[in-house]
Amino acid sequence: MEQVKGVVKHIVLAKFKEGVAEEEIEKHIKEYANLCNLIEHMKSFEWGTDVSIENLHQGFTHIFETTFETLEDRSAYVAHAAHVKFGTAFSSVLEKIIAIDYVPKPEK
């Protein structure tokens, strides 16, 4: 694995189980966003829903992006009790999840 230096972006794509109520999804999103208040390592959090006209989402409807200053901060977030508790509850309403971390590369 390459040496990671710089800001780390954590992207989560969520595919909710069929039949999960919109209110339930909204509750989990609010809890996800609130992690910024509980975990100092989270520098920013944004989310949205798929609006692509290509219809290639494969059922993944929600996108979440968290920014960390370092890979170590990302690791501390994963291990943080608030994240572990949230992750357990969140995964109970998900059919599938994709999580990817990357370091943005400047244009050359």
Residue 36 pLDDT: 95
The tokens for 47 are 């989310």
- pLDDT tens, N- to C-terminus, the chain (108 residues): 456 678 999 999 999 999 999 999 999 999 999 999 999 999 999 999 999 999 899 999 999 999 999 999 999 999 999 999 999 999 999 999 999 999 998 877
Residue 100 pLDDT: 96
Sketch the domain layout of the chain as residue ranges: 11-102
Write down the architecture of domain 11-102 according to CATH: 2-Layer Sandwich (3.30)
Residue 3 pLDDT: 62
pTM: 0.90
Residues classed as catalytic: 77, 80
Residue 6 pLDDT: 82
Decide if 107 contacts 98 (C-beta within 8 A). no
